[in-house]
């Protein structure tokens, strides 16, 4: 096996590690105890492996084209804290501060504010449209928050009022 450049008792230990990894154990499972400098220590007259040595062995096997790394269990993905949110961004989104001045003054009919209220367990959504000057409010329930379904719902709400939409 040649793990860590040491021979002797290693073939049996390597075969134990290989068989344990075939069963998808984490490297701490086949090892016993804490890490000791060359990666082994004696306990009860038997050579023991540390989990760190097993990780080194798996990494070396992966670099050599092996497949042992595929049998490691995966924990939850690590999420970095205190960083900017990296979820999806709306392409071409215009900020509310870029709104024309006449809309801010509420000087004309036809400037609408749209809101999407998501239902419980993300089942369905409610489209609300409010006209800024008159206060007219329109609502429509849609089965999901997918963009095409929202677009159809907004078109359905505003089509009778085509003349009053900017």
| pLDDT (tens digit per residue) in 10-69 | 444 455 455 555 555 555 555 544 444 445 555 666 667 778 888 888 889 889 998 888
Q: What is the pLDDT of residues 94-116, one digit of tens each?
A: 888 888 888 888 888 889 999 99
Please check whether residues 63 and 120 belong to one and the same domain: no
Q: Which domain holds residue 136?
A: 96-164
Please check whether residues 9 and 45 belong to one and the same domain: yes
- Number of domains within the chain: 2
Listed residue (38, 62, 64) closest to 50, CA to CA:
38
Please check whether residues 67 and 112 belong to one and the same domain: no
* pTM for the structure as a whole: 0.47
Structural domain includes residue 137 = yes
Please check whether residues 59 and 118 belong to one and the same domain: no
DSSP string, 41-62: EEETTEEEE-HHHHHHHHHHHH
């Amino acid at each position: 096996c040649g793990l860590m450049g040491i021979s002797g008792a290693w073939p049996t230990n390597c075969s134990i590690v290989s068989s344990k990894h075939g069963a998808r154990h984490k490297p701490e499972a086949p090892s016993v105890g804490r890490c000791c400098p060359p990666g082994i220590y004696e306990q009860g007259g038997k050579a023991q492996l540390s989990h760190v040595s097993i990780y080194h062995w798996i990494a070396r096997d992966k670099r050599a084209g092996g497949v042992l790394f595929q049998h490691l269990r995966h924990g939850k993905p690590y999420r970095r804290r205190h960083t900017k949110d990296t979820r999806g961004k709306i392409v071409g989104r215009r900020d509310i501060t870029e709104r024309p001045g006449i809309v801010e003054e509420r000087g004309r009919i036809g400037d609408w504010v749209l809101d999407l209220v998501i239902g419980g367990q993300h089942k369905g959504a409610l489209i609300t449209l409010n006209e800024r000057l008159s206060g007219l409010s329109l609502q429509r329930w849609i089965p999901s928050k997918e963009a095409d379904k929202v677009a159809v719902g907004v078109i359905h709400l505003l089509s009778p009022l085509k003349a009053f939409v900017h």
